[in-house]
Structure 1
Amino acid sequence: MAKEYHSKDFEWEELRKQIENDPSLSYHLQQPIDYSEPSQSQQDSSAAWNTFHTTHSTAKFFKERRYLFKEFPDLSSSSVFLEVGCGNGSTALPILRTLETATVYACDCSIQALDSSIHNIRRASNRKPPLESRFHPFHCDFSTNAFPPWLACNYCKQTSLTPQHHIPDVCCNAPTDLNSFLKDGKCCIGGVDVVTLIFTLSAVPFNKMPAAISECFSVLKPGGLLLFRDYGLYDMTMLRFEPDQKMGYREYKRSEGTRSYFFSLDSARNLFKGAGFIECPDSLLVALISCLLSQLELDYCCIKSVNRRNGKAMRRVWVHGKFQKPV
């Protein structure tokens, strides 16, 4: 039987006070004055994530996000998804299983991750048509490159993602199984209903996050949602980093070269609102309507778990958010 979804095993403010009053952890609070390392190139970033997914390619590492629909109930009312940073398919698979008419477009900067996602979804498919027929992976690093125009061409973006005329130019870099769709005269798929950013944005250098979020905004249909979950400030994984692994304010680098940023509510709110997303409506009337229609939210998810091997309690902190593109 599935456990009830919960997110408040402890209060984040109590954790903050404890961490900020511990002298041994003071280096996590300091903002570096100078960044001595050059910015990571797209090629280096992709290579690091290829190494990561090659190292963690076992079935033990793959954990399907079975509680996704309890975390984000809005998924049930959508049909066209873009998963950014799909990894091994742990988010795409429950969407495809639960929603029989859903189509999931999924990108990652790592070829190894894309191969793993295809393998895991193909292995889990026991239906006809198979789940993989509604899963369209493609290679893209959204922190550096724009999404391909077959997702949403410039014309459709300028007309609120509602194509009124067909454009003769057909995008040639679409996945193979989309080529026939595009050759029918359609310029693109017309945008998506939902973008999922699940433990993806934290891997992007902080100075590249605004442009990356703007890319997500650009391919959403008006009224579409961006569902966000990522590492929160003072999560236990942040506290494990050593001082020499710190790359910036709340930014760290792992041994294989991948990065991780830890979000506060304010940093997440400012990034998404800066790109044009709605999180807190201005007027009372708009707030009421938005609450009834979409229940927009941003909060810390604080989970306490126990390591089975050593019995040590682990305090996990994630930032959970839901943002909307204005209608």
Structure 2
Amino acid sequence: MMMSSSRELEETEYHSKDFNWEELSNDIENDPKFSYHLLPFHRSSQSQSQFQSSSSLDFQSWNHFHARHSTGKFFKERRYLFKEFPELASCVKYTKLLEIGCGNGSTVLPILRYKENILVYACDCSTEALERTTEVIYASNVVSPKTRFRPFCWDFSTSRIPQWLICDSCHQTSPQKQNLLLLGPSELDDNGISLPDITSSKESECCIGGMDFVTLIFTLSAVPVDRMSAAVVECFSVLKPGGLLFFRDYGLYDMTMLRFEADQRVGFREYKRSDDTRSYFFSLDTARDLFLGTGFIQVELEYCCVKSVNRRKEKTMRRVWVHGKFQKPM
């Protein structure tokens, strides 16, 4: 009972609307010390070339990142998911979910733990992240992790959907395939990551027919801006008609954004850390344009504004996230 009450309290604190985003925006835009965040960004031809050539190195940066944070303490388990996205709590048996950018498993773990009838496919561009996630899942109290959790390596911003998820033929005809329970032995991809057995039945020979849900939680902000549209297209393509995408990411004027120095800007509202990983900060308009421009229907879109208190330093920090829910038309 104590654990349950603690979780409920944590969720309430995490999701409360502690301040108004418009008031925060007014404060930031009228404070001279933050003026460089508001300036247009013009990339020189040389920096543009470096920017494009560095794209292929993204996975190395994230490999190093996850290796440094291998204890798993860097990210907290996201227990708020079922409150923010209640569709997860009411999903039917053999529902298929794709977590894009699984990191260390902080999104995958609570979903597998609290919904025993869901099949989770988790991808990341970092093999180090996939190893960490697999370790976390297998060390947890998740029921039947080997048959319900399928990790694989995929960079959704640079390559097409793996054909075993949804093949070109099925994607073009938009079939309403049956949800098949793929519990057969798995095989390994080129990176040694477990893949589902797609030969379990005659109907699943070409692919598994797409996803019922896609979770995109603090992932899109790490993708270079010039590749975001292509990444969202892949999210749209992998969903079944009527499927839902759950989105949460860094919002404009979040505390993290304001901590970046002027020389860390690599684009408008886009920054690079010292370890070469990137972070972009979304406005509602930017997120809306990205998803609706791809064909999604907007179900929910809002700022989540939370005050975080550092008791040791006696400092209050204003955190901003963008919460969104988008549907693929039937």
Question: TM-score scaled by structure 2?
Answer: 0.87
**What SS does the corresponding residue of 1:301 show, helix, strand or coil?**
strand
C-alpha distance after superposition, 1:86-107 (max 9, x if no partner): 0011111111111111000010
The alpha carbon displacement at 1:57 in A equals 1.3
Partner of 1:223: 242
Contact in 1 for aligned 2:72/2:104 (Cα 8 Å): no
Partner of 1:201: 220
C-alpha distance after superposition, 1:19-51 (max 9, x if no partner): 000111100001112242422544310000011
Tell me which moved more, 186-195 or 58-67.
58-67
Mapped pair 1:160 → 2:174: yes
CA distance in 2 between counterparts of 1:161 and 1:132 reads 28
CA distance in 2 between counterparts of 1:180 and 1:193 reads 17
**What SS does the corresponding residue of 1:136 show, helix, strand or coil?**
strand
Mapped pair 1:14 → 2:23: yes
Superposition CA RMSD, Å: 2.0
* Aligned residues between the structures: 303
Query: Which residue of the other structure, out of 56, 60, 65, is the alignment partner of 2:69?
Result: 56
**What SS does the corresponding residue of 2:176 show, helix, strand or coil?**
coil
CA distance in 2 between counterparts of 1:20 and 1:173 reads 49
Q: One-letter code of the match for 2:106?
A: S
Structure 1 7/147 Cα, relative in aligned 2: closer, same or farther at 3 Å? farther
Contact in 1 for aligned 2:77/2:109 (Cα 8 Å): yes
Partner of 1:286: none
**What SS does the corresponding residue of 2:292 show, helix, strand or coil?**
helix
CA distance in 2 between counterparts of 1:242 and 1:42 reads 22
Q: One-letter code of the match for 1:254?
A: R
Q: One-letter code of the match for 2:66?
A: H
C-alpha distance after superposition, 1:54-113 (max 9, x if no partner): 111114224211111011111123321000000011111111111111000010000110
CA distance in 1 between counterparts of 2:267 and 2:292 reads 22
Q: One-letter code of the match for 1:94?
A: P
**What SS does the corresponding residue of 1:124 show, helix, strand or coil?**
coil
Tell me which moved more, 180-189 or 249-258.
180-189
The alpha carbon displacement at 1:253 in A equals 0.2
Query: Which residue of the other structure, out of 234, 251, 259, is the alignment partner of 2:270?
Result: 251
Partner of 2:41: 32
The alpha carbon displacement at 1:151 in A equals 0.4
Segments of 5+ residues of structure 2 without an aligned counterpart are: 179-186
The alpha carbon displacement at 1:158 in A equals 1.2
The alpha carbon displacement at 1:147 in A equals 1.7
Partner of 1:272: 291
**What SS does the corresponding residue of 2:241 show, helix, strand or coil?**
strand
CA distance in 2 between counterparts of 1:154 and 1:173 reads 20
Query: Which residue of the other structure, out of 67, 85, 89, is the alignment partner of 1:72?
Result: 85
Tell me which moved more, 237-246 or 61-70.
61-70
Contact in 2 for aligned 1:49/1:110 (Cα 8 Å): yes
C-alpha distance after superposition, 1:246-297 (max 9, x if no partner): 0000000011000000000000000000010001xxxxxxxxxxxxxxxx21
CA distance in 1 between counterparts of 2:194 and 2:66 reads 24
The alpha carbon displacement at 1:212 in A equals 0.4
Contact in 2 for aligned 1:148/1:173 (Cα 8 Å): no
Contact in 1 for aligned 2:188/2:195 (Cα 8 Å): no
Contact in 2 for aligned 1:152/1:161 (Cα 8 Å): no
Structure 1 264/72 Cα, relative in aligned 2: closer, same or farther at 3 Å? same
The alpha carbon displacement at 1:311 in A equals 1.6
Q: Which residues in structure 2 correspond to 1:89-108 (within 5 Å)?
A: 89-108=105-124
**What SS does the corresponding residue of 1:221 show, helix, strand or coil?**
strand
Partner of 1:46: 59
Structure 1 299/197 Cα, relative in aligned 2: closer, same or farther at 3 Å? same
Partner of 1:314: 317
**What SS does the corresponding residue of 2:122 show, helix, strand or coil?**
strand
The alpha carbon displacement at 1:142 in A equals 0.6
Partner of 1:168: none
Partner of 1:179: 197
Contact in 2 for aligned 1:161/1:191 (Cα 8 Å): no
Q: One-letter code of the match for 2:227?
A: K
CA distance in 2 between counterparts of 1:198 and 1:265 reads 16
CA distance in 2 between counterparts of 1:45 and 1:133 reads 30
Query: Which residue of the other structure, out of 237, 241, 258, is the alignment partner of 2:256?
Result: 237
**What SS does the corresponding residue of 1:209 show, helix, strand or coil?**
helix
C-alpha distance after superposition, 1:195-236 (max 9, x if no partner): 000000000011111110000100101110000000000000
CA distance in 2 between counterparts of 1:67 and 1:163 reads 30
Question: TM-score scaled by structure 1?
Answer: 0.88
CA distance in 1 between counterparts of 2:170 and 2:99 reads 20
**What SS does the corresponding residue of 2:205 show, helix, strand or coil?**
coil
Q: One-letter code of the match for 1:17?
A: N
Q: One-letter code of the match for 1:20?
A: E
Structure 1 105/149 Cα, relative in aligned 2: closer, same or farther at 3 Å? same
CA distance in 2 between counterparts of 1:255 and 1:154 reads 40
Mapped pair 1:298 → 2:317: no
**What SS does the corresponding residue of 1:305 show, helix, strand or coil?**
strand
Contact in 2 for aligned 1:118/1:132 (Cα 8 Å): no
